[in-house]
Amino acid sequence: MPTPILHKERLIPGKTSKLVLHAPQIAQKARPGHFVMLRVSPQGERIPLTIADTDPAQGTITIVYLVMGKTTAMLEELNQGDAILDVCGPLGHPTHIEKHGTVICVGGGTGIAAMHHIAKGHARVGNRVVGIIGARSKDLLLFEKELASFVDELLISTDDGSYGHKGLVTDLLRDRLEKDKAVFEVVAVGPVPMMAAVAETTRPFGVKTTVSLNPIMVDGIGMCGACRVSVGGKTKFACVDGPEFDGHEVDFPELRRRLAAYREQERISLEAYQRSAHGN
């Protein structure tokens, strides 16, 4: 049964949107860190998206996506009142959340939305949560208000200095770790280079670092190994063993190469779609 879109918010016009979906079964079971697989049309591809929020009482889940290729471009065409053909979940292991003290949650780009759900989980059990978010410029920042409503501290960086610290999230993170020796865990969600940089920043401090990986997925239920990653020299399936892993153990260069495996086909697919969408 198609999943209705109850609400759509264009966070960054043409680039990033937030959808609130009516999916009571998923809303009931989903925890921070879970994701869904979705498919937009009968000819469509299955893609993974992290659950950015849930409201079990209302029976809703929230997803946030970056328009990157054909499937997300098609998703962007949908509006409130439309429905997504297939939404399957919740998938993956939920984030391991226990009361331990201070947790720093780092988010980059669209990853801020996923990080937000994890940070919320940590705040809920009584951890002291420091949020660090970054983007290229001010207009590309997401979820600032949502995060500000529950984190104990929110630090912001932009590459161009249009808002907050001028520079990278890792500058703020390093600074913070130097001042605060009682940080229990660092969680990072964002583009691969950012997660790799976070892991390198925390390594000398010996702080536990959790990253949420975003490899290519097909089924999302452990049937194929498309999403396999090397963690501590061992092969893991991100969809069933993760998607969260110890950032100090992840082979990021391999993940980056594997993510680019279908770049040519992705281009062909998007161009064919754009041609047909713009009346040939």
Partner 1 sequence: METSKPKKTVAPRTPMPCQPAAVRRGNFEEVALGYTREMALQEAARCLQCKKPLCVTGCPVEVPIRDFIHQVAQNNMDAAYRIIKSTNSLPAVCGRVCPQEHQCEGKCVLKAKGQPVAIGRLERFVADTYIATTACEQVTGTNACSLPLDGKKVACIGSGPSSLTCAGVCAAAGIRVDVFEALHEPGGVLIYGIPAFRLPKSVVATEIDGLRQSGVEFHLNSVGGRTVDVADLRKEYDAVFIGVGAGLPTFLGVPGENLVGVFSANEYLTRVNLGRAYDFPKQDTPAFPGKNVTVFGAGNVAMDAARTALRMGAESVHIVYRRTRAEMPARLEEVEHAEEEGVQFAMLSAPLRFNGNAELHLTSVTLQKMELGEPDASGRRRPVPIAGSEYDMPTDLAIVALGTRSNPILLDATPDLVKTQRGYIQVHEETGETSIPNVFAGGDIVTGAATVILAMGAGRRAGQEIVRRLRG
Q: Is 96 in the site for partner 1 (CB under 8 A)?
A: no
Nearer to partner 1, 12 or 216 (CB): 216
Could you list the beta-strand ranges (E) of 121-271.
Answer: 128-135, 153-158, 165-166, 183-189, 208-212, 228-231, 234-237, 244-246
Residues ≥6 apart with Cβ < 8 Å to 147 = 112, 116, 119, 131, 133, 154
**Interface segment toward partner 1; rule CB under 8 A; list 14-22, 162-170, 180-188, 220-228:** 220-228
Residue 193: half-sphere exposure toward Cβ, Cα within 13 Å: 2
Tell whether residue 167 is a contact of partner 1 (CB under 8 A). Answer: no
CB 23 within 8 A of CB 61: yes
Which residue in the set 222, 232, 246, 274 belongs to the binding site for partner 1 (CB under 8 A)? 222
- Kindly indicate which of the ranges 38-46, 98-106, 142-150, 202-210 contains the residues binding partner 1, using the contact rule CB under 8 A: 38-46
Number of residues in contact with partner 1 under rule CB under 8 A: 46
Q: How far apart are CA 99 and CA 101, in angstroms?
A: 6
**Residue 254 sits in the site that holds partner 1 (CB under 8 A):** yes
The single-letter code of the amino acid at 90 is P
Provide the 3-class DSSP secondary structure of residue 79.
Answer: coil
268 scored as a contact of partner 1 (CB under 8 A): yes
Query: Mutual orientation of helices 192-202 and 252-259 as an angle, nearest 10°?
Result: 180
What distances in angstroms separate CA 143 from CA 10, 58, 114, one per listed residue? Answer: 12, 21, 10
Question: Does residue 261 belong to the site contacting partner 1 (CB under 8 A)?
Answer: yes
Q: Which stretch binds partner 1 (CB under 8 A): 51-59, 60-68, 89-97, 124-132?
A: 89-97
277 binds partner 1 (CB under 8 A): no
**Angstrom distance (rounded) from CA 49 to CA 16:** 13
**Which of the residues 40 through 79 are near partner 1 (CB under 8 A)?**
41, 43-46, 70-71
Residue 224 marked ligand-binding: yes
**Single-letter amino acid code for the residue at 176:** R
Instruction: Mark the segment that binds partner 1 (CB under 8 A) among 122-130, 177-185, 199-207, 227-235.
Output: 227-235
Residue 229 interacts with partner 1 (CB under 8 A): yes or no: yes
Helix, strand, or coil (residue 80):
coil
In this complex, which beta carbon is closest to partner 1, that of residue 62 or of residue 71?
71
The residue ranges that bind partner 1 (CB under 8 A) are 1, 25-26, 29, 39, 41, 43-46, 70-71, 85-91, 218-219, 221-226, 228-230, 235, 237, 240, 251, 253-254, 257-258, 260-262, 265-266, 268-269, 272
